[in-house]
Chain A
Amino acid sequence: MKGWKNLEIGAVITEPGSSTVYKTGEWRAWRPVFQRENCIDCMICWVFCPDSSIIVEDNKVVAIDYEHCKGCGICAFECPKSKGDNESKKALIMKPEYLFREED
């Protein structure tokens, strides 16, 4: 974060959408894990994600933006391929964040 000496006069913010540098992913207690092989690219997760955290390239879901994903779980809850108990068949699974923290 910028110190006060580097801020614009008059509290002007010069860059649109600058909140991207603020990593709300740090809030996350649950992490959506994406399994590409089960995804049918219906984009339901993309349309409902409140934090623009489903990364889509060339009409395909490619990844999740862990820098901004807050871990609400709407994506996994609404995903039509993530119902039931069989984890290996799900496209999105919510897992506790602590399992991943050391990797980062």
Chain B
Amino acid sequence: MAQVSDKPKFVTREEVKMPPLKELTSMRDKIAPGHRLCTGCVAGTILRQMFMAAEAADYTLIIANATGCVEVCTSIYPYTSWKVPWIHNAFENAAATITGVEAAYKALKKKGMLPSDKKVKFVALAGDGGTYDIGFQSLSGAFERNHDFIYVCYDNEAYMNTGIQRSSATPRHASTTTQPAGKVIPGKPQPKKWMPEIAVAHGIPYVAQLAPSNFNDFFKKFTKALNTEGPSYLNIFCTCPRGWRAKEEEGILISKLAVETNYWPLFEVENGSWKINYKPKERKSVVEFLKKQGRFKHMFKSGNEHLIEELQQDVDKRWERLLKLEQL
């Protein structure tokens, strides 16, 4: 277990300097191409940006991957796309697996069997299914035991790998294969579970929400998580062109729109104190974000205007709550 002082010190955002992209291009990707993620899958971009930040800070990542798109697509036998130590165990226990690896690493280091000067960070990598639903108990346990690791959730808002089934991360009124929009229900009736606040409730040192379109913010937050002793939780927006019925080239655009409409606010929480990192000057209507995606197509039929209204209310309510939390 990590020996964390009551108030771990943070690298401030100002201290994290992102080098110009040009300088970062000399680094080698730790995720090899040839993985079978769908055309236009933004998870590939997220992985690359993760390794970009880790390489710049001279950290080696050791990854435990929960079952999901990334796990399946990067490890099709007889190939692997990973150039770092990587383990897959099961769907529900990525966090438990990585905490075991972390504890073993510490023990071996103590015995002098592993070098003590190497900068290593342990990462549990899971989709929203492996985080919000199936992996939730092991994630909660790992946070409570205060292991030194980063939990990275790439949130594509449904079980995409198995065929777009709804998860608790699916937003209200999105059409999925298990709750398709039709005569009886207009897609998923329940709103999206707000995982970051649940993570904050564990009292862990660092929680942040990221989007790959804002790579500068992404870089800073990932670097901060690397430098945080104890558990960090990163919730990352991940466009899924297949599952969201979106155009392949618009993955990053949708991510931008999610940030600009406050659907996916960028914030961070250090030791329980909230800070919004980006406040759009003029908040766009959530319609801008919805109309790019076929999963919300039914909301634009005449007579369904109230559906858009309801989703807008969900977004506004969350934003207002965020503003209040920031004042605490």
A, B assembled together: yes
Which A residues fall within an 8 A CB radius of B?
A: 1-2, 7, 11, 13, 15-24, 27-28, 41-44, 46-53, 56, 59, 65, 67-68, 70-74, 76-78, 94
Which single residue of chain A is at the shortest CB-CB distance from B44?
A50
For A1, the chain B residues whose CB sits under 8 A away are: 78
Which single residue of chain B is at the shortest CB-CB distance from A1?
B78
* Distance between Cα atoms of A56 and B253 in the complex (Å): 23
Least distance between A3 CB and chain B CB atoms (Å): 10
For B58, the chain A residues whose CB sits under 8 A away are: none
With beta carbons under 8 angstroms apart, the residue of B25, B45, B83 that contacts A50 is: B45
Interface residues on B, range: 35 or more
Q: Is the interface of A mostly helix, strand, loop or mixed?
A: loop
Least distance between B65 CB and chain A CB atoms (Å): 14
* Distance between Cα atoms of A25 and B67 in the complex (Å): 25
Check A52–B78 contact: CB distance below 8 A.
no
- Which of A28, A71, A78: most chain B Cβ within 10 A? A78
* Distance between Cα atoms of A53 and B40 in the complex (Å): 12
0/1 interface trace, chain B 74-95, chain A, CB 8 Å (1 if under): 1011111111100000000000
* Distance between Cα atoms of A17 and B31 in the complex (Å): 7
* Distance between Cα atoms of A17 and B218 in the complex (Å): 24
* Distance between Cα atoms of A35 and B253 in the complex (Å): 23
| B139 at the A interface (CB under 8 A) | no
Check B80–A70 contact: CB distance below 8 A.
no
Which B residues fall within an 8 A CB radius of A?
A: 21-26, 29, 31-45, 48-49, 52, 74, 76-84, 212, 215, 241, 248-253
For B24, the chain A residues whose CB sits under 8 A away are: 43, 47
For A52, the chain B residues whose CB sits under 8 A away are: 29, 31-33, 44, 48
Check B21–A72 contact: CB distance below 8 A.
no
* Distance between Cα atoms of A47 and B214 in the complex (Å): 11
Check A73–B40 contact: CB distance below 8 A.
yes
For B37, the chain A residues whose CB sits under 8 A away are: 50-51
Check A74–B252 contact: CB distance below 8 A.
yes
Check B81–A19 contact: CB distance below 8 A.
yes
For A67, the chain B residues whose CB sits under 8 A away are: 33
With beta carbons under 8 angstroms apart, the residue of A19, A46, A59, A72 that contacts B32 is: A19
For A77, the chain B residues whose CB sits under 8 A away are: 249-250, 252-253
Check A72–B80 contact: CB distance below 8 A.
no
Can you offer 9 A-B residue contacts whose CB atoms are under 8 A?
A1-B78, A15-B80, A16-B84, A47-B49, A49-B44, A65-B33, A72-B40, A72-B248, A72-B249
